[in-house]
Structure 1
């Protein structure tokens, strides 16, 4: 092939014209112009496969970036080369057989020059070019034959590949490498060449694995391999002994067939053609549904993909989540993850498509079925050990309230167990925040919170949901959080974890602690990558008003105030904020038909559409953690004209553990004072608080008749329902007495009372009485030592809990406190009757 490069310029012009009539290139990452090359040193490009098409693609991209052409050669310090590139692979014949071996002659000459001339150096720039992407599989061989793969490729196959996949050509430029630095410690020329070749080979292997994944065998081979593992064999023998009265041949055969059935039920059947079809289909879907998909911090993914096994752990708000994340990863040139999907999604037709798109299915519970658990564990370990990225939702299910759910330990524990078996390749967890402006499943979520049974997934319901395609759902934001290295989390809990023997059936305390910490880190990481979009902000503002309506000028000022606060004190480094000002936010939400304008002579009034207020509470809850701490401060000052810094710190520390547990706030207790000071300074700067001139450390609320006071009070309303729930729980517990009710009883009572209070006082959000929130609060009470379970399973408490309940006077209006106290004065007979009715309703 190289002899063609010696031909005259007309041949190259013709070759370029023919090639780029078929080829469209997509440069990944930041492109060649961002490499930071030293202009005083010559550049030599490194390509993997020896094709003229690769050279022409390279030339096109570097010339477009204003870099030296690979065809112009290099010249420096008396060293001249007529071409500025070389290949790492052997020369391929027309039908793919290697015909030459050894190092590139140009690399040999450059290495000799570097070793003999102290002043000479060359910048090597590896360039990876992929012509379509697919893993190796034995099925659908005709469709996959000419896609990018790990197999060697001859010139004839490359020609067909260009014709079939030329418009999906991906180009990725690696960071420049100094040839002098690479060869500095080599004892002789042979070792120097070997090191350069090894570095380049490793680089291209890692880049190829990032894009098309590791080599995969056929699904049948995977299933049979799982059945041969020791743990699955042991589970098969145990089941045979249990069901057959002994390990007879027939009992073993039945147990083995059951294990095989489980493996087929679980395993993905990744198909690159299906992925390509899904990619085109989803491009059309996103165009129909959304105004755009905005991606933040994707460089985080490319930064860790080369050296780590990635576990994507997004929040779970919609069935759209996993489709969207895989689409984005594929769009950016990386291997899409294998996704853990609930068995309820393994529907006719749909399940097969999802399976070929990388989904593997799991049942909601493995309890009482050790064989299924053994098969699933081995399958997950196989996927991880082969280097596949994976994805699952630590919440276990979709959030119905907009808040993050408490992390479930199941998949985390299995991933950690796999890593402890084989920690040769480090694992990194990547939190992903997914934020919508309008939610596809919003109506069904409201119904479920109001008590309707959860609607089962079915093909019929999926077809019915296609009607939603006519609606506009605004923008979607996908933001990648800070990577969490599993080895670091394990070291936090147990520094000597590498020296521990393999885990048996019982799990040591350090393992359980690691899973809990990992779940907390992931939830914190998701929230730290939150995106405050226009719908989030307008929901925060309007839901704070009694009738969910505001004057246009007041609403615009409130929105600008939120933006100013979140700009002055960003929730986290990776958190993002809409660039729209207050008026633009209003116009945007009007276009989405989320808010309605009521014209009035004294100024237009904006309010939610009648059915959308509850839906918007979901959107508010997506970013409630971003304003929780300043909202708590505002809530305190809306009830107290003046507070000292010490009083603020004390009151905040009483509530903070519960807020942190519910909303996954990022600050550790020792970081709370610093965060308080930052928010106080911002609120003073905005005029929403005042600092006493003559009394240091004293802060004052604005005049009650001022706009600033109204704005501060609206901010405080964001957390007031949360504080009311806490007071309900404390009030019920103290009214019933120490050692009288258990945790489950308290949770049920709080749910009933909150439901009743919502009806009486129009909190107008079914998530106000969500049982899961009360469960989290009661768990935090026990963790903080404010309540303990006695031998009978009842909650016992002492003075500190009563003191915490009494501090509600600083944050709740008297009428709200009185309503709660009135509702919670229940005698034991009434309590038992209410619990019995709730139990009978649940069983029905």
Structure 2
């Protein structure tokens, strides 16, 4: 049976009424209640007055929006949708922590759940509802982009709790009023809601910066009080969905190189369905620690944090908990090892790289997907074989033993899988650079009052600021606590002082070394943009032109080995570098900005130099021609590294 026939069969078998009918015969309960609610009518009248329009005109518009976004739960449609979801998910076995589900069901009995999920695939919208439905959770209403409201499929999906919403609503205030009111009514009725905190799929494998739209409406709801009544509350639940591999990653990485995004239509859906014929391992759904949204907002208010700043803080809380809940996959660890080497490795060499990583993961108590043993030879070899079958790696077995390397044009795909785990490694990587900074101090260097440890801490803070648009860092106090933990793991017990000599010794003996594996791709990408920005002197910057220039020059540098890996040549990373430059005021033309741009490029050039030193200490010596035409400063001699792999 073709994919088209299968989709149509599953969809039409789910329709309780005529295919062309957008909504059930009667509007969903929330719409009916809103249309009869006096407070809502007053809000519509106020909006009409503010816009200088007639109340009837605005009422007609808002009523249309409510019917457009409204959803219901029809038993027949939901069962058919679950069957369709199972068919789309045929490439995977879905693994769920049943203990987590049991605990969450207890919360579900007494609270409305706001499920904030990470978004790596279109399949997320099938994994989450199917897992919850199979375990008899209360019906969940999921927000999805209106671009996915395809003919026929959209009619079915709206009857299974899928709420289609528009992405760009800045110029449609009446639409925002309708959506805010609809969400308030859903929470009042104790409905479960699910949405992507990122607002769209990640293009790099790690969490994107959170968007605040749905969360803002939820916080408004839990903070609202009418006539002394207590506002409704929700339990925010971070939900992580991660996959061994994804068929759609190659399309996303093409977009990162400048390709246009494929529009979501029926042809796209059929192609996407056909891709799922090939097995790709497992999908893992894990749940983070829930928290009361109302209680969290009250805590922030007590600290003097209110309004948009409070919403931002809650969004970051959710992102941190999502990262904490995301398990380490074997695919991610193998990709990390081979990307770091950027050459062919044997199984033994991969194991030699992974073993200290596994020890570090154990020490930090990070969860491993499927409770896999990262030190097990058969587990690692199976991951290598699976990545080879999908074309991410290429294998050569014509010599004395098989070796694996990244396939042609597959660096961004491998980086996507590695980045699902990168959040657990970034602070350790920063700690290594802080130690290296101390090790490079001159004997007669003037030190701050806190001595060498303060030098290390200032370097860590500098790197945090440099990478704050790329990673989710805790507050400065939390970051300092995390750095102390990392320093303890690096240094061990009994070290009461830090000198350049002890810092060098600690770096040489530390396992694992992560700065070059984790930070170099991002710093290389930033350096490409900074170099192109500095080339413009004090002049104006057209951002699209700067991105195009960075792609072209970045490709040149990759061919010349002036960057360590082709994965750094990515529009996604370049856009983050632009955000950093904009934050530093480097995109506006003006006298003296050229000097600041040069300083920005120099800072990144030195950061790249130092992560390369960490790579040399680790034994991962990747020859890189530094893009700075000026001679390299002489680094202090480093002790010979112990034998690694």
TM-score by length of 1: 0.60
String of CA shifts for 1:721-780, please: whole Å, max 9, x gaps: 22234445666667766x765795897488455455445436222664424322443366
Q: Which moved more, 1:402-411 or 1:668-677?
A: 668-677
Aligned position for 2:351: 556
Aligned position for 1:811: 610
Residues paired across the two proteins, number? 578
User: How do 1:313-352 and structure 2 match up within 5 A?
Assistant: 313-352=116-155
- In the alignment, does 2:494 pair up with 1:699? no
Counterpart secondary structure, 1:550: coil
Aligned position for 2:471: 663
Q: Does structure 2 retain, via aligned residues, the 8 Å contact 1:531–1:578? A: no
String of CA shifts for 1:773-820, please: whole Å, max 9, x gaps: 2244336647xxxx7989999899699979955853761559868405
For the structure 1 residues 449 and 140, does the alpha-carbon distance in structure 2 shift closer, same or farther, using more than 3 Å as the test? closer
Give the Cα separation in 2 of the matches to 1:285 and 1:608.
28
- In the alignment, does 2:431 pair up with 1:619? no
Aligned position for 2:79: 276
Counterpart secondary structure, 2:261: coil
Q: Does structure 2 retain, via aligned residues, the 8 Å contact 1:539–1:617? A: yes
- In the alignment, does 2:400 pair up with 1:579? no
Q: Does structure 1 retain, via aligned residues, the 8 Å contact 2:432–2:513? A: yes
Tell me how far 1:525 sits from its aligned partner: 1.1
Tell me how far 1:278 sits from its aligned partner: 2.9
Give the Cα separation in 2 of the matches to 1:795 and 1:382.
53
Counterpart secondary structure, 2:627: helix
Give the Cα separation in 2 of the matches to 1:240 and 1:554.
68
String of CA shifts for 1:282-319, please: whole Å, max 9, x gaps: 34554x31134233733452353234321100111111
Q: Does structure 1 retain, via aligned residues, the 8 Å contact 2:520–2:611? A: yes
Give the Cα separation in 1 of the matches to 2:488 and 2:217.
45
Higher relative contact order (CA 8 A, sep 6+): 2
Tell me how far 1:275 sits from its aligned partner: 1.8
Aligned position for 2:9: none
Counterpart secondary structure, 2:97: strand
Q: Does structure 2 retain, via aligned residues, the 8 Å contact 1:636–1:810? A: no
For the structure 1 residues 802 and 316, does the alpha-carbon distance in structure 2 shift closer, same or farther, using more than 3 Å as the test? closer
Tell me how far 1:381 sits from its aligned partner: 1.3
Tell me how far 1:655 sits from its aligned partner: 0.2
Q: Does structure 1 retain, via aligned residues, the 8 Å contact 2:434–2:457? A: no
Q: Which moved more, 1:608-617 or 1:727-736?
A: 727-736
Aligned position for 1:598: 396
User: How do 1:339-488 and structure 2 match up within 5 A?
Assistant: 339-422=142-225, 423-488=230-295
String of CA shifts for 1:230-267, please: whole Å, max 9, x gaps: 57646766888899x974xxx83x55443332221110
Give the Cα separation in 1 of the matches to 2:281 and 2:539.
50
For the structure 1 residues 412 and 741, does the alpha-carbon distance in structure 2 shift closer, same or farther, using more than 3 Å as the test? farther
Q: Does structure 2 retain, via aligned residues, the 8 Å contact 1:291–1:474? A: yes
- Which has the greater radius of gyration? 1
Aligned position for 2:334: 538
For the structure 1 residues 331 and 730, does the alpha-carbon distance in structure 2 shift closer, same or farther, using more than 3 Å as the test? same
Q: 1:495 aligns with which of 302, 305, 308?
A: 302
Give the Cα separation in 1 of the matches to 2:428 and 2:71.
46
- In the alignment, does 2:486 pair up with 1:679? yes
Q: 1:607 aligns with which of 396, 401, 405?
A: 405
Q: Does structure 1 retain, via aligned residues, the 8 Å contact 2:524–2:568? A: no
Tell me how far 1:631 sits from its aligned partner: 2.8
String of CA shifts for 1:568-598, please: whole Å, max 9, x gaps: 1235x89996334251332221442434432
Q: Does structure 2 retain, via aligned residues, the 8 Å contact 1:293–1:478? A: yes
Tell me how far 1:489 sits from its aligned partner: 3.1
Counterpart secondary structure, 2:340: coil
For the structure 1 residues 557 and 227, does the alpha-carbon distance in structure 2 shift closer, same or farther, using more than 3 Å as the test? same
Counterpart secondary structure, 1:360: strand
Give the Cα separation in 2 of the matches to 1:796 and 1:234.
56
For the structure 1 residues 266 and 567, does the alpha-carbon distance in structure 2 shift closer, same or farther, using more than 3 Å as the test? same
Q: 1:223 aligns with which of 5, 22, 31?
A: 31
For the structure 1 residues 651 and 816, does the alpha-carbon distance in structure 2 shift closer, same or farther, using more than 3 Å as the test? farther
Give the Cα separation in 1 of the matches to 2:435 and 2:142.
47
Q: Does structure 1 retain, via aligned residues, the 8 Å contact 2:65–2:175? A: yes
Counterpart secondary structure, 2:240: strand
Counterpart secondary structure, 1:475: strand
Q: Does structure 1 retain, via aligned residues, the 8 Å contact 2:30–2:186? A: no
Q: Does structure 2 retain, via aligned residues, the 8 Å contact 1:690–1:700? A: no
Tell me how far 1:452 sits from its aligned partner: 1.3
Give the Cα separation in 2 of the matches to 1:492 and 1:817.
51
Counterpart secondary structure, 1:563: helix
Give the Cα separation in 2 of the matches to 1:399 and 1:454.
13
